[in-house]
Amino acid sequence: MYYPDTIQKLIESFSKLPGIGPKSAERLALHVATKMKEEDALSFAKGLISVKRDLMHCSVCGNLTDKNPCSICRDSHRDRSVIAVVEEIKDLIAMEKMREYRGLYHVLNGVISPMNGIGPQDINIPSLLERLKNEEVKEIILATNTTIEGESTALYIAKLLENTDIKVTRIARGLPVGGGLEYADEVTLLKALEGRREIINNNK
Amino acid sequence: MYYPDTIQKLIESFSKLPGIGPKSAERLALHVATKMKEEDALSFAKGLISVKRDLMHCSVCGNLTDKNPCSICRDSHRDRSVIAVVEEIKDLIAMEKMREYRGLYHVLNGVISPMNGIGPQDINIPSLLERLKNEEVKEIILATNTTIEGESTALYIAKLLENTDIKVTRIARGLPVGGGLEYADEVTLLKALEGRREIINNNK
C-alpha cells in the first residue's frame, strides 16, 4: 500500500524465505531496488530460475546435482563400500565440509515421522534397499540427526538390515567438542558415558 | 566446491544482500532449491527483474515509483503547500506508515557527507530548489535523520532558504516515546530539555 506494486511483490517473495520477517523483507527488497546493480539482480534472478530448472536429485543417492549421477557418485576415488545415510542435503554438505569422509551417501530427504504422516515409503528408504542389492556395500553409517525422529529412522533402517552381511553403524552421541559437562543435558551426558572409550588399559 | 555450480551461484547472490552472511545464504539457497515451489521461485525472479526494469525515481520528488510522477505527487488530496525533506525512500515509507502526514515529500537520496565526497550537488538539493521556484510551497519540514550528517544537511538546506517566504521547520529531537531518561544519551536529553513545551501556563 505504501510501495509501488513492483516492490510489494518482491517484498512478498523475500518474506516467503525462512527466517526473513516482514521488516527484513522490506529492507532487502528496497536494497535490490535502490542499491543493487542491475546485472547483479539479473544474475540473482537467473540463479533462482536455474536452481529450479537445472537441478535434479541424483538418481543414485538423492543428492542435489546438475548432472546425474552426482559428482560424488561419479567420483572414482571414493570408497564405494561405505554409505552414510543422512536426512537432508545440508547434512551431506556438513559431512563433506569435514573433508575426512571418503565414502558415498544416501540422502533420505526426510525422516520417518508418524505424527506428520511420513512413513518409510515416503522417504528414500526403498531406493536405499534397492541400492544395497546391486552395490558392493560393506558398511552403512546411520548419520541421521540425533533427534527422536532421526533416532527412530536410524533404528528402523538398522532393523531392515538385520541378518545381512552389511555392518551397520550409528554416529557417536556425546559431548560436543568444546562443550562443558555442566551445560550438557542428561540424555547427552548418558550417551557420552555409555559411549566412553578406553584410552589406557592397565589390566593387560 | 561442495555444491553444484547452480546452487553456488545462488548462494553468492544471496550473500550480496545486506545482513545475509555466508551461512544464511547457504540456507536460503538450499531452501529455494529443495523446498520452494517452482512458481514461487519464478515470481521471485520476475520480481527481481521487475524492480530493476520497471521502477524509476519520481521526477518530482525522487520517490521510487512505477508511474511518473509517483502516486503521492499525483494525489490531489495531498496538501501541496508542505514538503517534507527526507534522506531515503525508507524514511518516506516510515512517514507514510504514520498515516498522519498529508503533505508532499522530497527524497534527497543521500546526505551531504564531505568525508565520503558527497556534496550538495550530488544529492537531490538542486531539484528541491527548482521545485520551490515553481510550486506554491509554504513550509519545508526538514526530516533528515538526527545523525551528524543528517543535521548538517538540514542546516545547509535551511541556510539556502533564508530570506525566502517559506517557513522552514526541523522535526523534534527528544526522548523516544516509552524511553526512560536513564537510558537517553546526554545530547538527546539536552535536545529534549531545549525542546520542552509548556503544558500549563499559570502566569496568565
Mutate to test the interface with A, among B52, B57, B70 (most CBs of A within 10 A): B52
pTM: 0.74
Q: What is the CATH number of domain A5-54?
A: 1.10.8.420
DSSP string of B40-73, one letter each residue:
HHHHHHHHHHHHHHT-EE-TTT--EESSSS-HHH
Q: List pLDDT tens digits, range B91-117.
A: 998 899 888 899 999 999 999 999 999
Average pLDDT of every residue of chain B: 91
Q: What cell was used for B167?
A: 517557513
Written out in words, the top-level CATH class of the domain with range B64-200 is: alpha beta
* Residue of chain B minimizing CA distance to A53: B38
Residue B65 contacts A, CB cutoff 8 Å: yes
Q: CA-based angle A133:A160:A85, to the nearest 5?
A: 75
pLDDT of residue A173: 86
ipTM of the complex model: 0.75
Reply yes or no on whether the pLDDT at B1 is more than 70.
Answer: no
Least confident of B70-74, B96-100, B175-179: B175-179
The better pLDDT of the pair A100, B198 is held by A100
| Residue ranges per structural domain of chain B | 5-54, 64-200
Task: Average the pLDDT over B54-64 and give the result.
Answer: 93
CA-based end-to-end distance of chain B = 79
Residue A49 contacts B, CB cutoff 8 Å: yes
Reply yes or no on whether the pLDDT at A52 is more than 70.
Answer: yes
Q: List pLDDT tens digits, range B119-151.
A: 999 999 999 999 999 888 999 999 999 899 999
Task: Average the pLDDT over B22-39 and give the result.
Answer: 93
pLDDT of residue A121: 93
> Which chain B residues are within 8 Å of A93, Cβ to Cβ?
2-3, 26
Q: Give how far Cα B204 sits from Cα of A139, B195, B197, B198, Å.
A: 94, 21, 16, 13
pLDDT of residue B204: 63
At residue A204 the predicted structure's pLDDT band, cuts being 50, 70 and 90, is low
